[in-house]
Structure 1
Amino acid sequence: MDFEKVKSIVSDIKEKQPEIDRVMFVGCGASMADLYPGYYFVSHESTKLLSSIHTANEFNYDTPKGVGEHTIVITASLGGTTPESVAATKKARELGTHLITLSMADDSPIIKETEYKVIHGFHENYAAKTEKMSYCLAFAIEIVKQFEGYQFYDEAVAAFQGMPDLIENAVKSVGPSAKEFGEKYKDEKKIFVLSSGASLGVAYSTASFLFMEMQWIAAPTVHSGEYFHGPFELTEKDAPYLLFMNDGSTRHLDARALTFLQRFDAQVTNIDAKDYGLNEVAGENVIDYFNPLIHTGVMRVYAEELAKARKHPLTKRRYMWKLTY
């Protein structure tokens, strides 16, 4: 990841507009989920900036009031062709916002509509699959730092530097557990997915895209803190659950849910950030925001093994790329 580019873009925005009051994150599907940690950071660490996250077409058709020259908008699309996200990027530019767009495709339609483009990797390795998310989080941290100050900035930068190797080492170690996951869940028609904190976006992405889109498995997403306020009534012996356990402030929420699931003998797979040494690269003041990166990297291996066990490639679709809708 190019930290200097992140700094330069935010500095350029600040030079043009010294007073920013809002940071908005806009995308669709997995790209919107990748924006979630950035949104979560601003909403938790800033004392001055409003922060919100929007699916692109809601931004297009029900645009929040007050969006304009005092707003930074970050949009994203992996291939850069998602029509709703392209339209949202164009709309944000027309509204006079300071517009940053993340994509892996340099000549894509969404990049042509933006003010500041950032091209990220994806195919090179598992760490590269988290680059879009990493850039979004880096922009969120840089924005807060430059516009109001962030005392743990150096700690965050150190975490970014350590994450690629941590992810690559983690995925090398998860082969046996990922294969076990694939065999255990290959015949399931529904899997509940739980998490909390900044990794709620990973839970949503896993459920909606790796499971529902790519494997045609129904997958309700449940916030670990909300699990006890309704959803836990569906907990029973051998019911299939996937939990992304965080290391940091919201770990108690995840642990409480795990204890209850185990109490009633649910079938639980727990992907725990602590197991992969997240705290070795991310200090206690910033660790909350880096859980999604390790969860995303590890989960990709689990998804690949599930696809193999089901003989259902991750690229297989019924409707996407085949119909006009």
Structure 2
Amino acid sequence: MNSTMEAKDIIKEIVGKHEVKHVVFVGCGASKADLYPAKYFLDQNAKQLRISHYTANEFNFATPTSVDENTVVISASLGGATPETVEANAVAKDKGATVISLTRMIDAPLTKDADYVIYHRFAENYAAKLEKTGYCLLLAVELLNQVEGYEHYEKMLNGFSKIYDLAQESAESARKAAKQFADRFKNEKVIYIMSSGATHEVAYSSSVCLMMEMQWINSGTFHAGEFFHGPFEIVDKDVPFILLMNDGKTRAIDSRALAFLDRFDAKTEVVDALDYGLSAHIEKEVLDYFNPFVITAVFRVYAEELSYAREHPLTKRRYMWKLSY
């Protein structure tokens, strides 16, 4: 395992040994969601590669028969000790797959069955919290470019050179709006969160992790495109929604949902990538894939302010890491 190898060199070595046909992303909770932009990117652009995305225990108990020596499994765990994801690496290796793992902890259990490990930061600042997502997306870009070719490869690399600074600046500039949000939403018993495109699972992780896990607030999450196929029936005056709004191809989906929320005076908070200048920094051909970076960074500030207003630290748990489960 060589943690210093860049994504380009890792993928070059893998495609030199194997005919890569299948890419599988595996994780749990926020780490699973952090892999989604890479999955979305490949779904949008790959013509031959097969793409899958699993919560780890689903992968372990119902392993796809297509996982073999032509498969690359990319797994992630922040602390590198999530038991289900550690097991997924072993399952993948047993099937002959090549495993790349992302974690912040050197020599963590996740590294045991990984062929390659990329270490990322997290706690240093808001940009650091995006490195897991970023490195995974970069691996996906390299896989596509080296296996099939990708016409916007250089534009993606240019985007990577800008997005971390932009996300950090965006988060720092969001504090006032986040405080106002926290004051408005601090007493809510349930909060619904939705988005679309590459940001779909940012909404998911914001709901299940930031709201349910870290704030003990009941929360529901769904794709903004699914809003009109069931969830919109609960819309009424002052029902609380958070809309994570993308710039790019799926903006029309988010805009349609927002128009309906406004029509019935729902209690709506919008975090919009456009407000933070994403399209001024990232070229339109690759814009969609960088929405999650800005929105994740900004909404982390929102979650922090909510925790302060509710006097409920983001680190507080009842069950997680405290019981056997």
**TM exceeding 0.5:** yes
The offset of 1:281, in angstroms, is: 2.2
Q: Tell me the amino acid that sits aligned with residue 9 of structure 2.
A: S
Match of residue 324 from structure 1: 324
Structure 2 residues not aligned, in runs of 5+: none
- The reply to whether residue 63 of structure 1 matches residue 68 of structure 2 is no
Match of residue 124 from structure 1: 124
Match of residue 15 from structure 2: 14
The offset of 1:4, in angstroms, is: 6.4
Whole-Å separation in 2 of the counterparts to 1:169 and 1:81:
31
Match of residue 303 from structure 2: 303
Query: Cα RMSD between the aligned structures?
Result: 1.1
TM-score by length of 2: 0.98
Match of residue 229 from structure 1: 229
Whole-Å separation in 2 of the counterparts to 1:216 and 1:156:
37
1:149-182 per-residue CA deviation (whole Å, 9 max, x = no partner) reads 0000000000011011101111121111000111
Runs of 4+ more than 4 Å apart: none
Match of residue 147 from structure 2: 147
Distance 1:264 1:3, change over 3 A: farther
- The reply to whether residue 179 of structure 1 matches residue 179 of structure 2 is yes
1:263-316 per-residue CA deviation (whole Å, 9 max, x = no partner) reads 100011100001111112211111111101111100110000000000000000
Match of residue 165 from structure 2: 165
- The reply to whether residue 314 of structure 1 matches residue 322 of structure 2 is no
Match of residue 255 from structure 1: 255
Q: Tell me the amino acid that sits aligned with residue 11 of structure 1.
A: K
Q: Tell me the amino acid that sits aligned with residue 80 of structure 2.
A: G
Whole-Å separation in 2 of the counterparts to 1:205 and 1:276:
21
Match of residue 199 from structure 1: 199
1:88-133 per-residue CA deviation (whole Å, 9 max, x = no partner) reads 0111112111110000001100012210000000011100001000
Match of residue 92 from structure 2: 92
Structure 1 residues not aligned, in runs of 5+: none
Whole-Å separation in 2 of the counterparts to 1:61 and 1:4:
32
The offset of 1:75, in angstroms, is: 0.3
Whole-Å separation in 2 of the counterparts to 1:36 and 1:3:
24
The offset of 1:44, in angstroms, is: 1.0
Equivalent pair of 2:196/2:224 in contact (CA under 8 Å): yes
The offset of 1:41, in angstroms, is: 0.7
The offset of 1:323, in angstroms, is: 0.3
Whole-Å separation in 1 of the counterparts to 2:33 and 2:189:
23
Match of residue 268 from structure 2: 268
Match of residue 41 from structure 2: 41
1:51-104 per-residue CA deviation (whole Å, 9 max, x = no partner) reads 010000010000011111111110000000100000001111121111100000
Count of matched residue pairs = 323
Whole-Å separation in 1 of the counterparts to 2:230 and 2:74:
34
SS at match of 1:253: helix
Q: Tell me the amino acid that sits aligned with residue 312 of structure 1.
A: H
State percent identity of aligned pairs: 51
The offset of 1:247, in angstroms, is: 0.4
Whole-Å separation in 1 of the counterparts to 2:219 and 2:197:
19
SS at match of 1:141: helix
The offset of 1:50, in angstroms, is: 0.8
Equivalent pair of 2:4/2:118 in contact (CA under 8 Å): no
Distance 1:4 1:288, change over 3 A: farther
Q: Tell me the amino acid that sits aligned with residue 203 of structure 2.
A: A
Whole-Å separation in 1 of the counterparts to 2:224 and 2:152:
27
Equivalent pair of 1:158/1:281 in contact (CA under 8 Å): no
Q: Tell me the amino acid that sits aligned with residue 308 of structure 1.
A: Y
TM-score by length of 1: 0.98
